[in-house]
Copies of this chain bind each other. A is one copy, B any other.
């Protein structure tokens, strides 16, 4: 039995080196990257038996996605197709005041046609947990229905469901997002939401604790995690609130921080550990992720625990 199945789009990420610009660079780094597969990678690397399912073009590009996940020990259960593209995104890292910028080139991706029937629903039902994010239903109407189906199927089978709001303004408006997401929430056990998305998309008010409590009340979530960037995270679980400060980092690549957090959190919860412990692992994994280029947390459980034991930051020799 798989501990965790995640479902969503994984893209290929193209980024120029250093501070170079897309307009002038002659070289691009090439990596697999996707919110839900990032979660699976973090969970797998911290000990969970994690799988990722999706639909990919039967091409070297689709195979590269699979290759990029398998290397981290994630099992891939893919619907191969000759229809549809491999989604990509271009990332330019830029310091202040430039900021980093992302150009999505994901329209018409094969995954946007993924229907429930062709996906490994049985596997979702048999898993301990199922995870997807708010990006998935935003990608196509088909995917909106499929996401709903999978969450419902999981819930019905007793598989715990995890959902990261992950609002992307380039995909839909806050209003569209809110309507769709709230229709999915009844089948969600664990909700992760960035404080900003809670306010701007879910129209929540008050302090983070209020936000968590309000969401838990309204949608009957078992757990709500509110992430707050440099101010850490907060979890509401079974009526208890737990706070977790962020860990200071030298950030090399911030993309995937939330996914690393959630993957680590889930891996600990799946291992039967309590919410505060899961928050700690989430926080440390997220901090490590920020020091590593690419979307995924190439870390080990030992490294995470060493951060928690505050041993990091020096040369060990």
Contacts and interface: CB of A to CB of B under 8 A. Distances in A.
Interface in A35-93: 59-61, 63-64, 66-68, 70-73, 85-86, 88, 90, 92
A316 B22 CA distance: 15
A25 to B, nearest CB: 6
Contact of A24 (B18, B59, B105, B298): B298
A316 B99 contact: yes
Given A96-B291, A100-B316, 15 more contacts: A19-B252, A19-B253, A21-B292, A23-B64, A28-B28, A60-B92, A67-B72, A70-B71, A70-B73, A94-B292, A98-B312, A99-B312, A99-B316, A100-B314, A102-B317
A238 to B, nearest CB: 30
Contact of A315 (B71, B105, B255): B255
Interface residues of A, number: 77
Contact of A85 (B66, B92, B105): B105
Contacts of A96: 248-250, 291, 312-313
Nearest to A302: B58
24 contacts: A21-B292, A23-B298, A26-B26, A26-B31, A27-B27, A27-B29, A27-B30, A28-B29, A60-B103, A63-B300, A70-B71, A85-B107, A94-B312, A96-B291, A96-B312, A97-B284, A97-B307, A99-B311, A99-B312, A99-B314, A99-B315, A100-B316, A104-B317, A108-B108
Contacts of A63: 23, 300
Contact of A103 (B20, B22, B59, B105): B59
B30 A26 contact: yes
The quantity of this chain's copies bound in the complex is 6
Nearest to A251: B95
Given A19-B253, A291-B19, A317-B104, A24 B168 contact: no
A224 interface: no
A287 interface: yes
A303 interface: yes
